[in-house]
Structure 1
Amino acid sequence: MTKLSIYFPKLQPLISLFFLIFIPFNVISQSVEAERTILLKLKQQLDNPPAIQSWNASSSPCSWTGINCTQGSVTAVSLRNMTIKVKIPPTICDLKNLNVLDLSYNYIPGEFPKLLYNCSKLQHLNLSMNYFVGPIPDDIERLSTLLYLDVSGNNFSGDIPPSIGRLPELRELHLDGNEFHNATFPEEIGNLSNLEHLAMAYNGFAPMKIPDRFSQLKRLKYLWMTETNLIGEIPEGIADLSSLEWLDLAENKLEGSIPSRLLMLKNLTNLYLFHNKLSGEIPRPVEALNLVEIDLGMNTLTGTIPEEFGKMQNLVFFSLFWNQLTGEVPVGLSQPPALKVFRIFNNNLSGILPPEFGIHSKLEAFEVSSNQFTGQLPENLCAGGVLLGVVAFSNNLSGQIPASLGNCSTLRTVQLQNNHFSGEIPPALWTTINLESLMLGNNLFSGELPSKLAWNLTRVEINNNKFSGQIPTGIGSWSNLTVFQASNNLLSGEIPKEITYLSKLITLLLDGNQLSGELPTNTVSWISLTTLDLSGNQLTGQIPASIGSLPDLLNLDLSDNQFYGKIPAKIGNLRLTSLNLSSNKLSGKIPDEFDNLAYENSFLNNSHLCADNRVLNLPDCSSTLHQPQKLSSKYLPLVLALAVVVTIVSVILTLFKFRDYREKKYLATWKLTTFQRLDFTEVNILPSLTDNNLIGSGGSGKVYKIGINGSGGFVAVKRIWNKQKLDHKLEKEFKAEVEILGSIRHANIVKLLCCISSENSNLLVYEYMENESLYMWLHGKKRRTSSGTEMNSVLDWPRRLQIAVGAAQGLCYMHHDCSPPIIHRDVKSSNILLDSEFKARIADFGLAKMQTRQGEPHTMSAVAGSFGYLAPEYAYTTKVNEKIDVYSFGVVLLELVTGREANRGNENTSLAEWAWQRYSEERPLVELFDLEINDPCYLDEMTTVCKLGLACTSTAPSSRPSMKEVLHLLQRCGPQEIFEVKKSGREVDVAPLLRSPTYISSYKEIKRGSEEDDGYLVYSV
């Protein structure tokens, strides 16, 4: 008691209140000042990251970005994704009440920061997605207060120390995605009695069994050990984990049977055991009736499907594909009210498909292909109104297609090929609004082709059926079609000229029909066509010379028709891998390019063809062809002189007549908008837009190479134009390209110099890339660049890797450094341009979109992109994010490694599908590599890039790495001198889900760190 209170006893309550309020406030004020000083020092030691510029000496730390306080003291520091590139300074532990520290998604180097041992109250530590290296320290148990530890997505290596099992309070442990190659993990993890969440996925541990001691983790709810090189059997003790809700042991080498008690865990909701070597029968899930998702695909399970699965009221996702199951599908499996995805393809199942599928639940995917089912397709698959795909090919199904599928507006793919279906296609099915692929080959369908198709339909396969009648003139409206296979039907009449309007066609197969008449002559719109087969018809007339102008044509078969006349010389310019003009009535000399043994069977049964070199078994042209009469030499000078005079007079008159008009009217209609400092104007560009300067064309316009007078340099000019007025779609592409390229600057993104626009034409002027596109170098062999330089036969591996890194840097900038992020949507090798030093530039931003908010999926109005590069989710949803670019870039990586084109893995699959199929067969990756660059010195690098390409083309977007992760890994591959950054980063191994051969796949992936669950049901076509 103070002296004041003795003399003035009535003041005692006020004095006590003063001590209770003002003295603690003073202490807190001093604490805030000290912590502000500590944090400002920390900011300086971290090189002042831009994201924390709000930290200043005039405000309370509790209001700063990334800082949380409790009772006025700093208790949490979150510096997530703030581009920190320096080591953690010891200053951080001067915050005495710190219990949460999140440093994830940065570039922090060095070994595990032992200085954090001084943070005496630390409970939550997140170091994920950084550049940490070296081992987990043996004395890790000194962080004894930890409840949460996340070191995922780094480069930690070596054995995980047993001391990690001496963190008594630990609730969550994340070790996934590091470099514990051929290392071990300790059974002492089983001592963590409070552990609820254990993530060890994507680590190449030495082959190890699941420790028996793991059965002691009685509180464990989540166990994620995908692709950790597990061997042996699943221990029976795993069924003792009574709290277990999520078990993911996928992509390992587990064998033996599934423990019988595993499916008796009452709390189990998610079970993923796919892609192992499990055998035996599936245990009866008597108790595990709370299962939401179960995936046992890609094993060697036998026996029948237990009927108890039909009793699971919460079942959403059911997958048993690629096993050896027999018997019928239990009727009860059609009845769970929550069922959305049903996948049992590639088994030996038989019988009739339960007709109640779709009645009791809102099905989204129904995949039963490659079995032995008979009877009809269930009538009510789309009763719930959300069906996305029906995949039932390669069965013995019969009857007609249910009419209800034609009224299914959500439907995106129907694949019923290789069955015994008959009758006509429901008329409404052809025009179902969202349908993208219709694959009905090898059935008994009949009827005529429709005049209209669904606006977004890209793939129609009706080969080997009984379709009849003419190809409708309305085929010109099938504008998005990329694949049309109608071989071996009863189609008749002429091929309408409207078919040449289909500019996106890649494959056109009309062979084995009864088509007649002449071929349409204007085929120049087929700029993407790679395969044209019209053999086995009754076509006549001459072969159109315009076929020789198709830039991507690889396979041409016009055999067994009645074509006559000469073979157009332009066809010799094509880089054909197969050519068949046999059994026609052709005459004259074959193009010199085909006069070699590679085409010895291309001209059979054409009695009037000849060749000069007689390498082929054809007559000598000099003895068979009648030479045309030449103009008499005495008249030749007179004719030439007259022609010159007429030409000069015409030119002079034209120049005088239109000079004023061109200068005053024409040039005045053009508007120049600059984005860089220029040494030219529109006057230098417009007169040079001639065919002589044309170097390429695409779906949105023509591209010209134009010299700039005086500077000696060149620019590339893309002209987006239409005869009357700009198409709305092209106008949107033009505005997108101007908006994006006009506002961003990066060394690996093509530089937009200016745009020149008028009422009916838009010009985009870019820096000129001397070595054109990556596609030309990978797939355009024996060609010349527009500058006249002859291309080498191959790009060596170091240069390919350099190109990959450069392109990744451009995309990484777009995704992670632009605000808002930019999605390109059309990443492909032809849109990766190369300068004189083969440095890569990302080009063609006509389809690109800026996201409204970072992290949110972007809704696209229509499918964009190119066949072979399209991300799977495009087939089922218009809500996409930057992971669609990651998928496309993964295809580019596979192109670089394999030398194959994106749409040609083999004759039936895309490159990504082919690569995944080979990988699933566990064949050595070296078998995929381009033989022309298969140098033993680079095998490790090529293997890493190949795996990265597979990871990027994972079916589930959440399984794909980000472009930041892709770039980090690529930068670690090559020699140090190639790159400006040090060789450090996170290795992203192959994603856990093997691509579905049925073109529909789904998988649920939990993201690392503190990010939210990305949800389930990601589909592909």
Structure 2
Amino acid sequence: MDLRFLGLLLAVLLGLSTGKAASEDSVALQAMKAYLNNTPPNWVGSDPCSDKWDGIICTNSRVTSITLSSMGLSGQLTGDIGTLSELRTLDLSYNKGLTGSLPDAIGNLKKLTNLILVGCGFTGIIPDTIGSLQELVFLSLNSNSFSGPIPPSIGNLTKLYWLDLADNQLTGTIPVSNGSTSGLDMLLHTKHFHFGQNQLSGTIPPEIFSSGMKLIHVLFDNNQLTGSLPSTLGLVQPLEVVRFDRNSLSGPLPQNLNNLTKVQELLLSKNKFTGPLPNLTGLNSLSYLDMSNNSFDALDFPDWITTLQSLTTLMMEQTQIQGSVPSSLFSLANLQTVILRNNALNGTLNIGSTFSSQLQLVDLQTNFIDSYTQNSGGYSNELILVGNPICQQSGVAAASFCTILQSNSSSYSTPPNNCNPMDCSIVNQTSSPNCKCSFPYTGTIVFRAASFSSLGNSTHYTSLVSSMMSAFQSYQLPVDSIALSNPHKDSLGYLKMSLEIFPLEGDSFNRTGVYSIGFVLSNQTYKPPSGFGPFFFMADQYERFSAQVPQEPKKSSSSASTGVIVGATVGGLVLLLLLGLAGIYAFRQKKIAKKATETSNLFGAWDSTKSSGSAPQLKGARWFSFEDLKKCTNNFSESNDIGSGGYGKVYRGTLPTGQLVAIKRATQGSMQGGVEFKNEIELLSRVHHKNLVGLVGFCFEQGEQILVYEFIPNGTVKESLSGKSGIRLDWIRRLRVALGAARGIQYLHELANPPIIHRDIKSNNILLDERLNAKVGDFGLCKLMGTDEKGHVTTQVKGTMGYLDPEYYMTQQLTEKSDVYSFGVFCLELITARRPIERGKYIVREFRTAMDRTKEMYGLRGILDPALVSLAIPLRGIEKFVEMAMSCVAELGSDRPTMGEVVKEIENLMQSAGMNPNAESASTSASYGDDSRGNLRHPYMDDLSFDYSGVFPPSRVEPL
């Protein structure tokens, strides 16, 4: 019998035995509790309302609100939620362990007004029944993994104010009504359309916009939309923020965009727009304009731009504008940033003497500017003219404007409030702005369309802190102070910064304080100051709750009726029976409990001197005894030996469940193994992705250090490229391998918390499962990014020659871009089947030398893998793939894309070549080569990773 079911039944009967009729709401919450882990400790008793369960608010004994943000909940949301017929608010945000699909029964909550599931782990389609929630005002499902189409039934939610489905994996077209079905065009009163960071495709239907709409935010950035931007957009005059950037939209822009007189941010970059630029004269509220990377008709610099009095940021990179830049542009009073790279601007640059006092950056690199007039006492902030004729003139090339110093971040951190910061001795405690040591509630606050670009201006952040503090105080939340740090723009143009919220009393928040603060941020109750635009918050799990005193159980009345006594008697008898069953169950679990106790103490003898620091922090990894692993490997027999490396040997094993595993056993006394052992346990036990090798468990006893992984049957990509594995990889399969590996690395960089840098991306660490899906493995050299304001970790150089980022090698400053470089080398290896350094030749240098963009395949046919070129399958998209790989191996990390951008580039490449990037690689590996290889090999062998600190002087970097 399931112990959770026993607990649920016991709680219900306890309610009967005390004379309470267990309400339908109580039963529903007890059932939900049975399928959730890490519920609040005071969730005891049979009646959540009278027992005042944390996060549960009741009215007249009916549950009306569930707010449990940042509680560390895990498990699944069951259909029992649908029986809470009086529920008005459901907020389960920032519980990444909540997985599975959203139950259809959610549609039964007819009185629900706020449904908020931000930053959880939900998957599957959004149920169409959500359209039944007629009272819904706030719907926020962003930052999950929902897939499938946008439910057209959302169009039935006529009271909806906020609609946020961003940062998911939604596909399909934008739904509009057609007489028989609903659509988003019916949401006339909705003010927020947030659909960015999905995979929406197809054209934008003109019907979606109309003059009767109240929309102020329309965000469809970072999707796969095609076709034109409909002119009906110009009818929605309340609009303040418009983002359609990073799609594949084409054709001319609507000329009626100048009707949007309230627009503050207009971002249309990285599309395929053509035709003339629309005249935006009269958009006096426009602060941020980004038209970059489109193919507009060539024209002189538009005069109307100099009339936009609110403009702070002008970004028109690669838009074919020409002529000279008028000095009147720089006189706009609020101007902060001008980026006009890669155009045909020419003549003399004159910023003038009346330029904006806020102007911080003028980037005109790669144009045809041949002179620069510097006025006395003139502009002295960052100016970039690299790639212009002026920087080729003798005596000018050394000028500051002929170098690139641009940064997309700021070192700002909230300063102390006239006090000296405390030196906090307890781990994870931080000194607050009021100089008190405490455990803050932390996370990242993200602004999707900030109207300013001068990240170094502290005024923005002080106003943000002040307004947020005022909001918390107005809602009487126990907040002492707030700190912001590390403001920076990410690759999507979002402004991100770290947020710390400090408790008012004691050194930590209680649960009520945490979920109350979480709700103010997830429900958008807090409104940021003007200029920050729409935001969302991604909280870290808070594990330092203040101690709470359990409530006293309520005493029953002494004047109980006869019926209550009879009920209590019957309930007591059933209770005794259940207790007996529970005792039998507990007896049968005795050995398991004993083993669990041993596991909880298994690192009590961890030697911090010999084993690389303190004991690993485990997050769910399974412990195996040494005897367990001896049995499943036949005493580590040679017949099960599938590889070896510097760490030790790898054995194939079979668990009692029948699961095949790869068992990586360290050589006795291996100090290098101690470092890798701790790293891999800590990291792999908390990261889970289909493109990462999964950790099954570990063993640490009898002087052994053993890691147990899922078994990956088709070995490494290196083996397939060399012909060892018998697997033949054609062009399509190689693209899918690259995409799978990129997605795995993207997960480490962007979704792991804190972010993880792999440090050893190479073909020997990328594995192929039974369907030839790529999985990134071997995490022994990984490094956590943490919260370094400079965006890097200074550390000893480790990695594999040939894949090693030269910038990291020279500076010892490790960033995510170091992995990007290694991935770029891997991509070149993938299409050449050559090792990165072969016969003294470095693959990156060979490509740079041989590439000729005027020729077919860029003239690289002689370098490509002959097995690839000789196949009948055309190499569609090979040029774009090479360009992507070469951008990854740019010498400067700042010039390399992020892994998120790499993933999207490969997906777009595959789609344009008629391939489905989400299809499985193969039905089975056997269909792609000779699988009769005898002993299956496994990837944790031939370990060529080295620690280069102190080994090679800088002069030895030349081979790279």
TM-score by length of 2: 0.49
TM-score by length of 1: 0.47
For the pair shown, which has the larger CA radius of gyration, 1 or 2?
1
Query: Which structure exhibits the higher relative contact order, with contacts defined as CA atoms closer than 8 Å and separated by 6 or more residues?
Result: 2
